[in-house]
Amino acid sequence: MRRYQLFLLLPLIILFIILIMNRNEVGSFNEEEAESKGKIKNWALDYVGVDFQKETAPVKIAILDSGINKQHKEFEDLTFKEYNAVTPGEKIVDDFGHGTAIAGIIAARGIETTGVIQNVIIYDVKVLNDKGEGKIESVIDGIEWSINQDVDIINISFGFTSDKEGLKESIDRAVKDNIIITAAAGNTLGLTVDYPAQYENVLSISSFDKNFQLDPYSAIGKIDYTAPGVDIISTNNKGKYSTFSGTSFSTGYATGAIASIINKEDDENRVHNIKNKISDYVLQIGDNEKFGHGLITLKKEKLKEKISEKEIY
């Protein structure tokens, strides 16, 4: 009987192994074209909120990714600086579409969709190629360039399945320079968290859906916080909009919310104090291994009742 049951399960086991083996080491995500009819309703913004204030100095956010289509209408008056770590000296083009989506989540100007924070300078750091693949040398180079630019936050919406030589050292240098680093936990189908999110001094972000249920693709384990990451809408590299899913995109929402939090004051010990500061903006929604300390939100009071009505798992 047991042999027969194992025989029935074998195809599922093989399929699971194939999915893991074929998962992109960096930048794994799902995307489909979103219908555009004026303002696009995006459930994620109802959960995270938007910070429109522009009275303080802009937060400097480095997006290490596949590049950004800076010609998209949502970025028309947004200030960018760029560095191409894949092909140094060449103008950045986002052929993969991943980085443009992250930029939209963080800072879209509200033409048809809106980013979490409006008072930003985006540092477009290309470390992934047109297939979403990246060499560790490019990633380290991008981190070092971001350190030299004195950015406030580095957003890494991808990960490596194993630790890579030199990666932690570059992360440690950034943190020592008071730079907050957010990273995608990974789309590992409930398995272990990717690197650099696995590192203690990096904020690891998992993803959940509009019913506060964990994204089935999301990693579990060393999770610090969670954010919306299933069927969310953002800018695409074709100048339009798409629906995206994955921890890459929840990381963008977390970065935007954190940027709003640190924008309220200048802190020379920002990295050391960041979890204490974030705690005032967090709603616990489930197990620590899945959701970490909880959802980072600028709409905490409004969400409490909504969360209390849900059965979280």
Q: Cα–Cα distances in Å, from 34 out to 104, 231, 234, 239?
A: 14, 10, 9, 12
State how far the Cα of 204 lies from the Cα of 271, in Å rounded to an integer: 14
* Active-site residue, selected from the candidate residues 98, 141, 207, 293: 98
Nearest Cα residue to 191 out of 9, 28, 1: 28
267 is catalytic: no
State how far the Cα of 84 lies from the Cα of 9, in Å rounded to an integer: 46
* Active-site residue, selected from the candidate residues 138, 248, 250, 260: 248
- Tell me the residue ranges of DSSP E strands in the chain: 30-33, 59-65, 79-84, 120-126, 153-156, 180-184, 203-208, 225-228, 232-235, 241-245, 282-283, 295-296
CA dihedral sign, ordered 16, 19, 23, 29: negative
Non-local (6+) Cβ contacts of 293 within 8 A are: 224, 225, 275, 278, 279, 282, 284
Rg over CA atoms, the chain = 19
* Active-site residue, selected from the candidate residues 51, 65, 224, 231: 65
248 is catalytic: yes
Angle 311-312-313 from CA coordinates, rounded to 5°: 125
Which residues are known catalytic residues? 65, 98, 248
